[in-house]
């Protein structure tokens, strides 16, 4: 087939810029150059160029993390430019990025998440009252953000004010949650109308990390990631079912990755990521590999889902682009195996 022109968008201006650049470089290396002509853009400097190039772009891969990339902002711009892109649209991206909004949607759909309090910058925080409500330890984190940036664990009431101030450096809303000890798990969901899940990954942070923090996520050897997770079959099936429910509850499309804590036999949803890490060793590619898909095949599948979704919704107003995509879709060699 004639190569599709794909905009690979990475970098940006959030606190997760370097993670995004690293992911973008690995995605570029993995994309099949016989299938795609790849144009690269960094939103920090290239939004004007992206706008000018829009008529020649068939699809976009958004490899951004944090505000202005994962929160629906760029998705809205691409909608205006009539460019299909992988993953969730404005609504699903914005809901998933905001941990308070996500928790409210989980609760409405009967999904367990850790007990919490939400406070706004300027609110008076009574540490003893928070401890009375939620116990100890406490997880403190900004409502908006990723990669555990701004997150800490308060093990006493005296620790809480500093932890709250640290979170407020990254967002005007902070969540204080009950700390749940247990097994950290994550489950990837793939699809638009028909959802599949890939095998669970179990995460075991190393001794240098209290939890799966920035160090544990991005330092080689700082954590152990086991796929498939070493949990009972019924727990794995339940987690996969909950991940699908979370995906639907947050209006996600294309793919997502939902993180859990298995504590005292119960699965608590921590958060849902609409643009999971996309290096070869990240959790989603690791899970896809366990399901039989290479990194390159996973990227093919995400691009296919974005194009197929736009064609079905008749979102593409550029008739030349629409015809190019219609010609390309039957030629995609996508793994058709299904997974529970």
DSSP state of 279: S
Select from 38, 20, 28 the least CA-distant residue to 74: 20
For residue 147, indicate whether it is catalytic.
yes
Supply angle C-alpha 69, 71, 74, rounded to 5.
45
Pair type for strands 266-273 and 254-263: antiparallel
List C-alpha distances in Å: 76 to 48, 72, 120: 15, 6, 27
Give kind and range of the element (H or E) at residue 184: strand 183-191
- Give the Cα separation of 212 and 273 in Å (integer): 15
Q: Which of 36, 85, 218, 268 is catalytic?
A: 218
- Give the Cα separation of 244 and 252 in Å (integer): 10
Q: Which of 70, 184, 202, 271 is catalytic?
A: 271
Q: Which of 10, 20, 102, 273 is catalytic?
A: 273
For residue 259, indicate whether it is catalytic.
yes
- Give the Cα separation of 120 and 138 in Å (integer): 17
Question: For residue 7, what are the β-bridge partners?
Answer: 39, 60
Q: Which of 12, 14, 15, 16 is catalytic?
A: 16
Q: Which of 72, 146, 191, 277 is catalytic?
A: 277
Query: What are the tokens at 276?
Result: 């999971």
Within 87-191, strands assigned E span 116-120, 138-142, 152-154, 173-178, 183-191
DSSP notation for 44-72: TT-HHHHHHHGGG--EEEEE--STTTSSS
For residue 16, indicate whether it is catalytic.
yes
Q: Could you tell me how many residues make up the chain?
A: 340
Q: Which of 171, 213, 259, 300 is catalytic?
A: 259
List C-alpha distances in Å: 179 to 94, 176, 308: 25, 9, 41
Q: Which of 10, 36, 93, 257 is catalytic?
A: 257
Q: Which of 20, 113, 147, 223 is catalytic?
A: 147
HSE value, Cβ hemisphere, 13 Å, CA-based, for 275: 33
Query: What are the tokens at 162?
Result: 């500093």
**Residue 108 · residue 150 · CB < 8 Å:** no
φ and ψ of 120, to 5 deg? -100, 155
Select from 8, 52, 51, 55 the least CA-distant residue to 324: 55
For residue 218, indicate whether it is catalytic.
yes
For residue 320, indicate whether it is catalytic.
no
| Catalytic positions | 16, 147, 218, 257, 259, 271, 273, 277
């Amino acid at each position: 087939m004639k190569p599709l022109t794909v905009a690979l968008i990475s970098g940006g201006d959030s606190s997760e810029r370097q993670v995004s650049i690293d992911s973008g470089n690995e995605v570029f290396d993995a994309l099949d150059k016989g299938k795609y002509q790849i144009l690269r853009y960094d939103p920090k400097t290239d939004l004007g160029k992206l706008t000018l190039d829009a008529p020649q772009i068939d699809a976009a891969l958004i490899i951004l993390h944090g505000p202005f990339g994962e929160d629906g902002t760029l998705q809205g711009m691409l909608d205006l430019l009539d460019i299909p892109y992988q993953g969730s649209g404005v609504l699903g991206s914005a809901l998933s990025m905001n941990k308070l909004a996500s928790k409210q949607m989980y609760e409405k759909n009967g999904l367990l998440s850790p007990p919490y309090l939400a406070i706004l910058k300027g609110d008076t925080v009574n540490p003893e009252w928070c401890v009375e409500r939620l116990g100890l330890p406490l997880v403190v984190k900004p409502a908006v953000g990723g990669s555990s940036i701004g997150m800490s664990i308060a093990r006493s009431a005296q620790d809480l004010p500093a932890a709250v101030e640290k979170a407020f450096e990254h967002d005007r809303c902070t969540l204080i949650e009950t700390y749940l000890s247990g097994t950290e798990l994550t489950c990837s969901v793939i699809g638009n109308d028909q959802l599949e899940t890939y095998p669970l990954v179990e995460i075991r942070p190393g001794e240098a990390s209290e939890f799966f923090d920035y160090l544990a996520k991005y330092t080689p050897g700082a954590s152990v990631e086991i796929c498939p997770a070493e949990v009972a079959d019924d727990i794995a099936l339940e987690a996969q079912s909950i991940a699908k429910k979370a995906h639907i509850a947050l209006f996600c499309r294309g793919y997502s990755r939902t993180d859990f804590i298995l504590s005292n036999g119960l699965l608590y949803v921590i958060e849902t990521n609409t643009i999971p890490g996309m290096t070869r060793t990240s959790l989603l590619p690791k899970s896809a590999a366990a399901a039989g898909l290479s990194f390159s095949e996973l990227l093919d599948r995400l691009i296919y889902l974005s194009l197929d979704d736009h064609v079905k919704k008749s979102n593409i107003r550029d008739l030349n682009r629409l015809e190019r995509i219609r010609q390309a879709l039957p030629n995609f060699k996508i793994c058709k195996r299904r997974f529970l």
